[in-house]
Amino acid sequence: MTKLACVVLCAGQGTRMKSSRSKMVQTCLEKPLCRWSLDVASSLDPEHLLAVVGFQQEQVRLVLPDSAQTVVQSQQLGTGHALQQAFRALEKSFSGAVMVLYGDTPLIRAETLRQLLDSLQGNEMAMLTSFVQNPRGYGRIIRDNSGLLCGVVEEKEATLEQRAIAEINSGIYVFRTDFLLKHLFKLTNNNYQQEYYLTDLVACAAGSVATVLVDEAETLGVNDYTQLAYAESVLRQRINTHWMRQGVQMVDPVSTYIGPDVTIEPDTFIEPGVQISGKTRIETGARIKAYSVIEESEIGAGTQVGPFAHLRSGSRLGEKCKIGNFVETKKASFKKGSKVNHLAYIGDAEVGEFCNIGAGTITCNYDGTRKHSIQVEDGVFVGSNSTLIAPVKLGKGSYVGAGSVVTQDVPAQALALGRARQVNKEGRMKKNN
């Protein structure tokens, strides 16, 4: 198998974003934009993964994977110049293929890159091209009458006739190492931009260039927030399609948000408006009702969440639990069969099996300095509008009366009443009427 080095270009500023931050660190579906290209490159199992950084390199370095070697392009003098810096960083003994990707193309697929790599066989280089409706800003693919690739011309240097060409250069290439050794450092900057173009290597390959046609959306470069939103919508659609094909039912995939690190088992049912993010795991038969928000949580088999529930980071629901409407949980675990049906906040708590926590119940887990935990053992019933002041333990089978403020441990099988005594003043209201 051919050895592979992947170079991801992450040095540009991205001025069209009109942001003070590098576009490489802008968030696209929970990940920094450049991580999509780096992660798909990593999936090819390259011997070397290099990220070329430049603008705000300190911030960009913070979001790179540990497996990526950084290469600094102190001056942004074009794609050819960027690859020169990366090529110098490779081991002198490296021999194989060098793939070049951009850090702002989050929609490129691993299978497409594998097809590109396969097309290098017998050629000096290979490149991805697309037919687009609006080719403005892209380099155009020039072919002869027989359809063979002749070259690539950048838009600013193209004639009006060439600008009408709809086939564009995606900027994603793979080269043979020996070819780069011969030609990469001979590139010149005799062009409008005074930059070193990788496209000039097409002429050096003397017809030994393979092209792989790919859908326009897959090679989209993100240059502004409109394109960023579009890219995220495509990624969301891909993720939702994947899970539906794995046996997950979604009432309205368009309004359903599922992050890239979420895992869902078959026979899960998801209603409209649901947002699921982080490394959330949902087991078979769960039902996620409308407009629930789930972050970094675990949901057991047959459990129901929502509608309008919020599971914050660290929530763990066991089998056949129920977290109902307008319930918020945070760093809380619930064992089999436990329920919080509505209008409650449960944080920093461990809830046992078959507990019932009534409406309006609040766990007071923060004293202004530290977080404290609450332990609720199996079979506990907490009445509505109760306040549990941490740290406190509710023993097995205990019962908390509605409206109670619990500040001390409750023994097993005990009834806890922690509310003010009701006093009725007979006839008092007649004096006020």
Which are the catalytic amino acids?
A: 342
Burial call 130-152: b when 16+ CB within 10 Å, e when fewer? bebeebeebbbbbeeeeeebebb
Q: Distance between CA 372 and CA 58 in Å, rounded?
A: 37
If phi > 0 it is left, if psi is from -120 to 50 it is alpha, else beta; for residue 331 that is left
Residues 6+ apart with CB under 8 A from 94: 3, 5, 47, 48, 177
Three-state secondary structure call for residue 217: helix
Residues 6+ apart with CB under 8 A from 49: 5, 6, 8, 38, 41, 42, 65, 67, 68, 69
Helix 33-42 to helix 110-119 angle (10° resolution) is 50
Q: Distance between CA 338 and CA 282 in Å, rounded?
A: 17
Q: Which two tokens stand for residue 416?
A: 């806890």
Interstrand relation of 31-32 and 27-28 (parallel, antiparallel or unpaired):
antiparallel
Consecutive H or E run containing 326: strand 322-330
CB count, 10 Å around CB of 37? Answer: 25
CB count, 10 Å around CB of 340? Answer: 27
